[in-house]
Amino acid sequence: MSKTIAVIGGTGLCDWPGAEVLKETVIETPFGMPSAPLQRIRYESAEFLFLARHGHGHEIPPHAINYRANISALKQAGVGAMIAVNAVGGISERFVAGVIAIPDQINDYTWGRAHTFFDGSNGKVEHVDFSYPYSQDLRSRLANAAVDANIAFEDYGVYAVTQGPRLETAAEIRRLAKDGNDIVGMTAMPEAALAREAGIEYASISLVVNPGAGLGDDIITMDDIRAVIDTGMLQVKSILAHCIAD
Ligand code: HPA
pLDDT in tens, 44-103: 999 999 999 999 989 999 999 999 999 999 999 999 999 999 999 999 999 999 999 999
Confirm or reject: Cβ of 176 under 6 Å from ligand 1: no
Positive or negative: CA dihedral 106, 110, 113, 119 = positive
- 202-228: pLDDT as tens digits: 999 999 999 999 999 899 999 989 999
CB 35 within 8 A of CB 80: no
**Neighbour count for residue 122 (Cβ, 10 Å):** 9
pLDDT at position 15: 87
pLDDT at position 163: 98
pLDDT confidence bin for 246, thresholds 50/70/90: low
Given a cut of 90, whether residue 123 has pLDDT beyond it is: no
- 139-195: pLDDT as tens digits: 999 999 999 999 999 999 999 999 999 999 999 999 999 999 999 999 999 999 999
pLDDT at position 124: 86
CB 41 within 8 A of CB 115: no
Confirm or reject: Cβ of 87 under 6 Å from ligand 1: yes
d(CA 97, CA 225): 9
Q: How many CA atoms lie within 13 A of 54 on its CB side?
A: 21
pLDDT at position 242: 96
Given a cut of 80, whether residue 1 has pLDDT beyond it is: no
Confirm or reject: Cβ of 212 under 6 Å from ligand 1: yes
Give me the amino acid identity at 69.
Answer: A
* ipTM higher than threshold 0.85: yes
pLDDT at position 17: 87
Confirm or reject: Cβ of 62 under 6 Å from ligand 1: no
Contacts of 221 (CB under 8 A, 6+ apart): none
Distance 26 CA to ligand 1 centre (A): 30
